[in-house]
């Protein structure tokens, strides 16, 4: 005899969707969805409060973990980290924004593949180093950049970090997603070793590197087409004729 499945707890998913569509505060949306789901599952109020309290106690150190790196990075930026990064990359004549990001993409994928996911990231690497270096490489070739170009370079720098991390960590055998997949398959009666799942992530990571690397190559081409006519630093504007005849 089959028992009826209570689908009412899934109303929490609808609460999350509606909340994000209406652009409410994310913390408020998640809390409301948790409470609605618990009530739909007929949890008693004391159990709901106990679950919320337990979750708060377990994660109360997260703000400290987040704020400490931000404070350190803020001090480094205040003492000229971004400017030093721009100056250093501008001294490498062969450097372009696309080439720099391709190198970072390769390093990010390789380090994530061996479990070193903390070596990169938006707050600790992209904002203070990679994005300013990409802007410095472009400025050394094309002169002063417009805000639109700067924002485009920053977006590509952030996207490069995302691609490198996402596809690189799939190769790491102890990555949580690989453990989850192998556990799910084992419960379905399919025996798969984690190392096999990690190995089959290598072709995907290679394809991701080639595809995004080609996009970065096209970024250089597009910047060259858009900014080629601008004067580069250290050059004087050309005049059509002399202003006067020598006596």
Distance between CA atoms of residues 207 and 219, nearest Å: 18
Residue ranges per structural domain of the chain: 8-57, 67-227
Distance between CA atoms of residues 188 and 184, nearest Å: 6
User: What is residue 129's predicted lDDT score, i.e. its pLDDT?
Assistant: 87
User: What is residue 245's predicted lDDT score, i.e. its pLDDT?
Assistant: 42
pLDDT tens-digit readout, 65-116 = 556 666 666 666 676 766 777 777 777 778 899 999 999 999 999 999 988 8
User: What is residue 237's predicted lDDT score, i.e. its pLDDT?
Assistant: 42
| Whether the Cβ atoms of residue 142 and residue 216 lie closer than 8 Å to each other | no
Share of residues in the chain with pLDDT > 70 (%): 80
| 233-240: long-range contacts, CB 8 A cutoff, minimum separation 24 | 233/139, 233/140, 233/143
Distance between CA atoms of residues 34 and 76, nearest Å: 39
Distance between CA atoms of residues 49 and 27, nearest Å: 16
User: What is residue 62's predicted lDDT score, i.e. its pLDDT?
Assistant: 57
User: What is residue 232's predicted lDDT score, i.e. its pLDDT?
Assistant: 45
Give the global pTM: 0.65
User: What is residue 57's predicted lDDT score, i.e. its pLDDT?
Assistant: 67
The list of the chain residues with pLDDT below 50 reads 1, 231-247
């Amino acid at each position: 005899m089959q028992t009826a499945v209570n689908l009412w707890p899934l109303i929490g998913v609808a609460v999350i969707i509606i909340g994000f569509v209406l652009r409410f505060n994310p913390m408020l949306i998640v809390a409301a969805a948790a409470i609605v789901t618990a009530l739909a599952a007929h949890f008693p109020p004391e159990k709901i409060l106990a679950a919320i309290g337990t979750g708060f106690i377990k994660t109360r150190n997260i703000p400290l973990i987040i704020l400490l790196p931000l404070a350190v990075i803020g001090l480094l930026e205040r003492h000229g980290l971004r400017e030093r990064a721009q100056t250093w990359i501008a001294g490498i004549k062969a450097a372009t924004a696309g080439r720099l990001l391709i190198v970072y993409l390769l390093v990010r994928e390789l380090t994530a593949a061996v479990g070193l996911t903390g070596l990169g990231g938006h707050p600790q690497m992209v904002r203070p180093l990679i994005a300013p270096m990409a802007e410095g490489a472009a400025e050394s070739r094309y002169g002063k950049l417009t805000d639109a170009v700067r924002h485009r370079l920053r977006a590509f720098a952030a996207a490069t970090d995302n691609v490198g991390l996402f596809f690189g960590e799939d190769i790491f055998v102890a990555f949580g997603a690989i453990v989850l997949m192998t556990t799910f398959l084992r419960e379905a009666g399919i025996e798969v070793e984690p190392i096999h799942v990690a190995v089959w992530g290598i072709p995907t990571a290679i394809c991701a590197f080639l595809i995004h690397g080609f996009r970065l190559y096209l970024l250089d081409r597009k910047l060259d087409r858009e900014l080629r006519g601008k004067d580069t630093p250290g050059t004087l504007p050309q005049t059509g004729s002399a202003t006067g005849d020598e006596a």
